[in-house]
Structure 1
């Protein structure tokens, strides 16, 4: 028995060290994902909020870049702090729930889930979303448990939960699923309904609602474009009818990015009476059920992406050791997927071995040093030229590589660049260096805005002899907004 315990302990240490090594390799060597560069660029244009998302990640990026400068270390440094707070909260949850729960197993369940390995590592809004959502849920549960015990509860925990929820909403709009899960808990538990007569609940709601202030200020100034974008993206279908492909994409990808082993555990949790003297499992159920059901319905009528449901699973992980005694199979699964992901993002996009067309997004992590060198060379032939690309992704990546906040995107979709350069008259008549690719060719929107353009310089990006993609660099003369 002692030998088995010892081997299990060393095996967990091995898993932790490998996951840490993979995270460090990714942190220091992966070029920013196009959206990471996009949000970094938001931090160079600080505002109340932004078209695509709430502002907290941009504010954080702006502060860190101001203090530490621009680097991949700085870009993902906020993830280190959020991860520390995230896993410390899990430690508090495990210690609170049951004396025999193993925090190492819980952490391993989280780390080895590909969804969280990815989203705790990328400098996207999600690492802040899940951290503040988890903190909010922990404080809210502690408040409810005390309220059930003494009819009063600890007010500071309720208000602390509201502050954390406010920060989660400032990170990403789908924090609303966590809030709705809280309300479902209050509504469905007869002993908790008296809270609706407690003014502290409404003060907490007011505190959480302060997150809407900067978002509303921005939207009032911009014709509520952000809200229109989300309605059109997730509720209004482009083509009416049931979307079986979207539904299967959402459910199947969700199954594999969490891991089949965790889903087995989630199913067992539904059938198991847990030895927990807390409202915790009920809150965990409602947060999971409401988010998952709503997004599944959306996937049937429009489109839902697997990571929109990232808050659904947070409270389930500390319960998994009750029904899955050893996370080894899950850890091996996650280790294989995570290793492939790190190779995919840092060495060679593995999709390039399959086809020349699939996964254009991942291919955009490669080749920017070569592109930037050509852009700088072409710029020397012009007088203070504009730097312009055919899509927000390429504009953001080029801006990051050159450390130049003034790169412009001209494309057929609305993005944050449209709000920064709404008044394009000052750009009229300028020459430009234009970057495009086969995913978003310049011919669609950009070239027609110039009197004439040069023949493109083709930058062919390869790694280990494998072709990844082509970029095209042109000069454009006399820009006409």
Structure 2
């Protein structure tokens, strides 16, 4: 699995989210517009303080996190019942697209989050077993406070671990409420996340405002497309075989009331079901992202492994084989499509919108784009009639981050954002550390045709005296044009 991940990480360009999180690492903070800071710390570490500038170095933290997560999965399965359950859990976990690719190869806040999420689950199960056996639990509770705190410093979804503890204490094991360890653990968790809280207080809870706006139900009607996308996304992202096996296991274990591991099963359900239910409910009204439910399904994988323990060996082999083969087929097809599909999947063929709606283009053609822009920039610099340009103007966080990682690194240009904070995201603040545009300055505006937006061009034109017709340069994939790079030369900034 590590070899597969290293191949993927080395052979495709960074995606929109990945390069955006790389920009976090340029200026370390206690929190960022969209997420807490752990992903920035991880990228800063694996790139050796940004010294190594390539896709593999940026993604290496995700691959290392996935390896650690897999070890925790095995130990958790072993703790639940035996080594065979641990092995089944590892195989199912490894064939999940969310666990192995989305969070295990691509660098997202989910990547380190999964380490601390799974570590928290392991500690909770160990606490449950220790209480049953009459063993001390204080040190386990302290480590749980650390693990949950760090999980929330990766992504706020970690709060659902404490939701699970409260539900378990209220409805399944009231003895937890008299354990002093639970309160010490909560205090430790609060201390760990305090920088995130303080940052949001100082920035008027902009992270909360942004995310609540994404999922707000006010004035929202029924959104059938969002609901269908959430359900289908949960099925595909977690591998259909893993998904359906998980729900078969859930309903079967609830129905049979597994007495041997009753507390452990209840605890795993409390860790999984509230998050899944929340996202399904929100998707009825608003757009959600299916990978948000990934941590919850990692809990259900342990129930799936317990279910496999009751199957015959031949049946287990058939399920695992089908799951892994489907995983390998999709990954291989994805790599081939991104790197070798002839042209674009998009039905849009006009010059200014070529490639619109083709998701593979976010991961393709950026190194070539950097070479093209560098050539144009060198010609402009050598011309006596042109004023030296230092700035690439941006109006949205994507493709701004791609331009930063690929183009600016090669040319020495820097990005500068104009527009609303909810379009610029972290770039709204990073502007403060960059050379500002002054009256009369010239700049570039660069956009791939698959992201071209006429409204943003109107915004750009309102800020400059002259906006020339774009230089249009094709990007080829397997001998056919897949998108165009549009470079607008802007003259005379209006302060």
Q: Which TM-score band (shorter chain)?
A: 0.7 to 0.9
The answer to whether 1:386 aligns with 2:391 is yes
Which residue, 62, 80, 85 being the options, matches 1:79?
62
The answer to whether 1:244 aligns with 2:249 is no
Q: How does 1:8-23 map to 2 (within 5 A)?
A: 19-23=1-5
TM-score relative to the length of structure 2: 0.86
Task: Give the match for residue 213 of structure 1.
Answer: 194
Go from structure 1 to structure 2 and tell me whether the alpha carbon gap of 1:107 and 1:451 turns closer, same or farther (over 3 Å shift).
Answer: same
CA distance in 2, matches of 1:236, 1:480: 40
Task: Give the match for residue 297 of structure 2.
Answer: 313
Deviation at 1:166, TM superposition (A): 0.9
Greater mean deviation of Cα atoms: 48-57 or 102-111? 102-111
1:86/1:134 contact within 8 Å kept:
yes
Q: How does 1:250-399 map to 2 (within 5 A)?
A: 250-269=230-249, 270-272=251-253, 273=256, 274=258, 276-277=260-261, 279-324=263-308, 325-326=316-317, 327-348=320-341, 352-353=344-345, 355-356=347-348, 359-380=357-378, 381=380, 382-399=387-404
Go from structure 1 to structure 2 and tell me whether the alpha carbon gap of 1:78 and 1:424 turns closer, same or farther (over 3 Å shift).
Answer: closer
Name the SS of the counterpart of 1:209 in structure 2: helix
CA distance in 2, matches of 1:211, 1:354: 46
Greater mean deviation of Cα atoms: 28-37 or 438-447? 438-447
Go from structure 1 to structure 2 and tell me whether the alpha carbon gap of 1:345 and 1:28 turns closer, same or farther (over 3 Å shift).
Answer: same
Go from structure 1 to structure 2 and tell me whether the alpha carbon gap of 1:264 and 1:47 turns closer, same or farther (over 3 Å shift).
Answer: closer
Greater mean deviation of Cα atoms: 468-477 or 64-73? 64-73
2:74/2:83 contact within 8 Å kept:
no
Go from structure 1 to structure 2 and tell me whether the alpha carbon gap of 1:285 and 1:405 turns closer, same or farther (over 3 Å shift).
Answer: farther
Task: Give the match for residue 312 of structure 2.
Answer: none
Go from structure 1 to structure 2 and tell me whether the alpha carbon gap of 1:248 and 1:41 turns closer, same or farther (over 3 Å shift).
Answer: same
Go from structure 1 to structure 2 and tell me whether the alpha carbon gap of 1:196 and 1:111 turns closer, same or farther (over 3 Å shift).
Answer: same
Name the SS of the counterpart of 2:295 in structure 1: coil
Deviation at 1:250, TM superposition (A): 0.5
1:379/1:385 contact within 8 Å kept:
no
Greater mean deviation of Cα atoms: 26-35 or 93-102? 93-102
Name the SS of the counterpart of 1:445 in structure 2: helix
2:75/2:86 contact within 8 Å kept:
no
Which residue, 472, 477, 481 being the options, matches 2:491?
477
Q: Supply the RMSD in Å over aligned alpha carbons.
A: 2.5
Q: Flag the structure with more relative contact order, 1 or 2, with Cα contacts below 8 A and sequence separation at least 6.
A: 1
CA distance in 1, matches of 2:146, 2:292: 22
1:91/1:103 contact within 8 Å kept:
yes
Name the SS of the counterpart of 1:297 in structure 2: helix
CA distance in 1, matches of 2:267, 2:493: 56
Deviations 1:153-202 (CA, angstroms, capped at 9, x unpaired):
3211111111111111011111222221222111111xx32332333211
CA distance in 1, matches of 2:262, 2:23: 44
Task: Give the match for residue 204 of structure 2.
Answer: 223
Go from structure 1 to structure 2 and tell me whether the alpha carbon gap of 1:60 and 1:303 turns closer, same or farther (over 3 Å shift).
Answer: same
2:110/2:154 contact within 8 Å kept:
yes
Q: How does 1:23-172 map to 2 (within 5 A)?
A: 23-67=5-49, 68-99=51-82, 101-119=84-102, 120-150=104-134, 153-172=136-155
CA distance in 1, matches of 2:217, 2:413: 34
CA distance in 2, matches of 1:21, 1:66: 22
CA distance in 2, matches of 1:295, 1:81: 28
Greater mean deviation of Cα atoms: 405-414 or 93-102? 405-414
Give the total of aligned pairs: 458
2:77/2:87 contact within 8 Å kept:
no
Deviation at 1:449, TM superposition (A): 1.2
Task: Give the match for residue 455 of structure 1.
Answer: 469
Deviation at 1:451, TM superposition (A): 1.7
Deviation at 1:247, TM superposition (A): 1.0
1:370/1:459 contact within 8 Å kept:
no
1:390/1:440 contact within 8 Å kept:
no
Q: Which runs of 5+ in 1 are unaligned?
A: 1-18
1:145/1:278 contact within 8 Å kept:
no
TM-score relative to the length of structure 1: 0.88
CA distance in 2, matches of 1:62, 1:467: 35
Go from structure 1 to structure 2 and tell me whether the alpha carbon gap of 1:364 and 1:459 turns closer, same or farther (over 3 Å shift).
Answer: farther
1:115/1:257 contact within 8 Å kept:
yes
Q: How does 1:179-190 map to 2 (within 5 A)?
A: 179-189=162-172
CA distance in 2, matches of 1:204, 1:309: 25
Name the SS of the counterpart of 1:461 in structure 2: strand
Deviations 1:91-117 (CA, angstroms, capped at 9, x unpaired):
211221222525443222112122223
2:168/2:266 contact within 8 Å kept:
yes
Name the SS of the counterpart of 1:310 in structure 2: helix
